[in-house]
Amino acid sequence: MTMSWLKMKAEEAEYVDHRALHAVISRAFQKLGLPPGEADLSAEVLVLADLRGVDSHGVQNSVRNIYVPQLRSGKINVSPNMRVVHETPSTATVDGHNGMGMVVGRYAMNLAMEKARQVGCGFVSVRNSNHYGMAGYYAMMALPHDMIGMSLTTARSSVVPLGGREPRLGTNPIAVAVPTMDEPPFVFDVATSTVAAQKVAIASISGRELPDGWIADREGRPSNDPKLPRDQRVLLPLGGGTREGGGHKGYGLAVIVDVFSGMLSGAGWSMDVEGYNCGHFFGAWRVDAFRPADEFKRDMDRMIRDLRATPLAAGFDRVYVAGEPDHEMEQERRAHGIPIHKDVLTYLRKLAGELGFEPGI
């Protein structure tokens, strides 16, 4: 969820209904060459990110900076021939034929879930894909089927290994979604860097100073300047730039994501990603392959309630469980609209005009 200090000021935003936002993004993607179904799916992934407060991976930041430029340049194949190139009963490798990341990602996660239905668990690695938006979307696809879902992806190198001063690793997110009975599902979706690169971009718009441990300059010196140009900054691994702070843990997790998403699929690792040619990895576990699903979900509810009931430390007013803030934000934004920065709305209206349709927002 967007950190409170990164939230837009009231005067910077307009509230937009999620259905209207979906419509304009889908229409724009269709005008840029995507078939209607694939455009709708791609818009769905982006708008869900904004609904859940993951503004760094939604319409706010990704449409202008990632998808429109890559669709216009032809870096994204709007007519991909996605195919399985290697397969066993529980595993597969998919060649995404450089298609839209959201389209490739949904295809591969559906395949992982189908394998889980047949044999209890399914794992699918992907090569030749593109930026696929919010990792949690694909993990959450498993929830209605009483499955645990997992989603990993490589990303263009922007993160230094602990002790280094040149980027070698991507932000390489890890997402896991676990079904529950009555409580909101457990949805853990994080970058393996201290912060996602897009949050630095959001901070640069507002001009707010960055917290310690997020970025360094190209000499390895810590920095708090959000306006430090991309080619002059690096992101730090989760835990920051020291072993004492736990930076070796984020570094190791990022490498693990590269192994599963890049090495298993043959996509290569983060150093091989140029904003496209991403590798992904998807997993699905059928809960009833281990124990009755309802028993499991009731126990998940109990664990979540016990965590939430933890006595509070000084300075805190609540204990959250992963996915809970995002769930609450989604309910609020579905009811009251998504706050969109006025500069983003200006861009979307201009884009619609260039593409020949009324934006409706």
Q: How confident is the prediction along the chain (361 residues), in pLDDT tens digits per residue?
A: 455 545 667 788 899 999 999 999 999 999 999 999 999 999 999 999 999 999 889 998 899 999 999 999 999 999 999 999 999 999 999 999 999 999 999 999 999 999 999 999 999 999 999 999 999 999 999 999 999 999 999 999 999 999 999 999 999 999 999 999 999 999 999 999 998 777 777 777 666 788 888 888 888 888 888 888 877 789 999 998 889 999 999 999 999 999 999 999 999 999 998 766 899 999 999 999 999 999 999 999 999 999 999 999 999 999 999 999 999 999 999 999 999 999 999 999 999 999 999 999 9
Distance CA 337, CA 21 (A): 10
- Spatial contact of 256 and 233, defined as CB atoms under 8 Å apart: no
C-alpha dist (Å) from residue 80 to 18, 97, 200: 28, 5, 32
Burial per residue of 145-162, b for 16 or more beta-carbon CB atoms within 10 angstroms, e otherwise: ebbbbbbbbbbbbbbbbb
Q: What is the pLDDT of residue 286?
A: 98
Residue 291 CB contacts under 8 Å (≥ 6 apart), including other chains: none
CB count within 10 Å of CB 276 equals: 18
Residue 176 CB contacts under 8 Å (≥ 6 apart), including other chains: 139, 148, 149, 150, 186, 187, 188, 189
Amino acid identity of residue 89, one-letter, is: P
**Residues of the chain with pLDDT > 90: what percent?**
80
- Spatial contact of 13 and 358, defined as CB atoms under 8 Å apart: no
3-state helix vs strand vs coil in the chain, percent to 5: 45, 20, 35
Nearest 10 degrees: CA dihedral of 302, 304, 309, 311? 130
Joined together, the tokens standing for residue 303 give 């664990």
Q: What is the pLDDT of residue 2?
A: 52
Distance CA 342, CA 347 (A): 9
Q: What is the pLDDT of residue 167?
A: 93
* Closest C-alpha to 194, from 246, 147, 149: 246
pTM of the predicted structure, to 2 decimals: 0.93
| Residue with tokens 């708090």, as numbered in its chain | 224
Q: Is 310 helix (H, G, I), strand (E, B) or coil?
A: coil
- Angle subtended at Cα 232 by Cα 267 and Cα 207, rounded to the nearest 5 degrees: 110
Q: What are phi and psi of 37, to 5 degrees?
A: -65, -40
Q: Is 280 helix (H, G, I), strand (E, B) or coil?
A: strand
The structural architecture, per CATH, of the domain 4-291+339-355 is 2-Layer Sandwich (3.30)
